[in-house]
Structure 1
Amino acid sequence: MARILHLSDLHFGAHDPKLVEAVACRVDEEHPDLVVISGDFTQRARTEQFRDAGRFLTRLREAGHEVLAVPGNHDIPLYNVLRRFLSPLTRYRKYIDDTLCPFHDLPGASILGINTARSATFKDGSISHEQIRFIRDTFAKTDPDNVRILVTHHPLFALPVGDGGEHGVPVHHQQDALAAIAEAGVDLLLAGHNHLASTHASSLVHGAGRALIVQAGTATSTRVRGEGQSFNHIEVEANHVKVTIETWQDDRFARGDSQCFDRNGEHWDLDGGEPVNEVIEGVTQ
């Protein structure tokens, strides 16, 4: 069984130091097989914000934790136009990770990260055709019995972002990306961006494959959207996934309710046989 802590949207520069310390302590206590951080390490991609984020990562790594990270749209400078378009992820590469599409193999799980942040799209995400080929090629080389996990900052789907029924924007080249994850047999999609924790089934969209979509809330940012700070504790074993949300409660992170999912052919069921039926938007043209 692979145990993963899924953090997202740390937003150093708009963070609460108490939350940062509490997250680091929980990682030490849980000692997962892998810490996944799905983007937005900083608030405005400034050097001092990346330094703070880098110190947080150094602390995790020096404590013996493996980390897989991808950039988010906030990790690209917004107001410095020259840096935004000429060297958008230079600071990310220096302080976070020089690899923009990292890969980890764990016993029973293969995890690939893909950078969806772009200079021209500002807050929205995109996947290139080269990255789509990379997804297919990378997972084709993995153990077919492993659970295949794809990590992005931006959700591939137009998922809910508020209580009023509004949905976010899917990544550019969504149709090609969804075809690729279906062909590659991706089992889990981990992302952030919306600052809301949720689970959905990609099988609700025709041609999108069998993946279980797991969204993380913001772990340490003061910028929340209707729910408190949180991160995901994920246990993966063959055709079974358990997702537990760790939520901020007064002065510490504590485990909340868990959801268990079993893969039933080409779709996921909640433990007990009920299909995952969260509503998501269809594929855009």
Structure 2
Amino acid sequence: MSFVKARVAHRRSVTSGMVRVTLAGKEIEEFKDSGVADEFVRVFFPDPMTGDLPMPEEDDAGRAVFPEGIKEPHAEYYSIRRIDKAACEIDIDFVVHDGGLASEWAQKAQPGDCIVLGKARFCYEPPEGMAWQVLLADATGLPALSRIAEETPAHIKTIAIVEVAEAAHRQELPVGEHVEMRWLYGSGNGIGPSNLLSNLRALQLPQGEGYIWMAGEMQASRAIRRHIRNELKLTGRNFSVVRYWLDNKEVWRSRWDALDPAVREEIDALWASDRDPDDIADTWHNILETHGL
């Protein structure tokens, strides 16, 4: 089953900046998880006015579709913080912030409320035999980073750098001595420039093959990716940088909509080419930056 409707069992505050919603029910036995620590899922939310939540179907391309005349529900991607198939439970953590249908839903969620989950995807693909890893995230990437850190074997040296709005948003994670947690306060997260890149630059990376994983705001993730590619000279085998959200999204969208058709054709041709995937991604980011995106 590609989509499952899950019911809220309970909700609790992890910190003043994060709320955890536990979903439960026999339907979770049918949920298609990946088993990978940073797995994320498309979540469909009920209409805040009517409470309607239609079930999507899957087309031949794997996309969610709805019958004609049915209003498509609001949907966003969220990390699976914890999954227990035996207990039929899934935890999803939501950043607390003003505005945003998903965050407001989570802050008010009551037992019995429903959401729909798609099948899980993932980005965390470290090389076999890696000796170390560096994990970086802002508040939106913290749930996935936490699960990665908790599930990493003890022989892998891990440095985790997390950027949150304030010290009260820090979480005490059940990690072993092989995991070094570093917390940054008062930067990134829509309140100021990110300090994740400067902290990555300051690291003396361990010997041996390693892996860098980052999740957070688009501009911060792009700067970190550039550093990884141009200065650390790593290939896609040794890193994964994921954009979870975009600051000033409305401005970005207006610039994207105003792109010259020739630039759009250039982008389409780029992704359709058979060039090296790392080179394609590098060129893609360069095009966006050239046009203020």
Q: TM-score, normalised by structure 2?
A: 0.29
Structure with the largest fraction of helix = 2
Larger relative contact order (CA 8 Å, sep ≥ 6):
1
The structure that has the greater radius of gyration is 2
Q: TM-score, normalised by structure 1?
A: 0.30
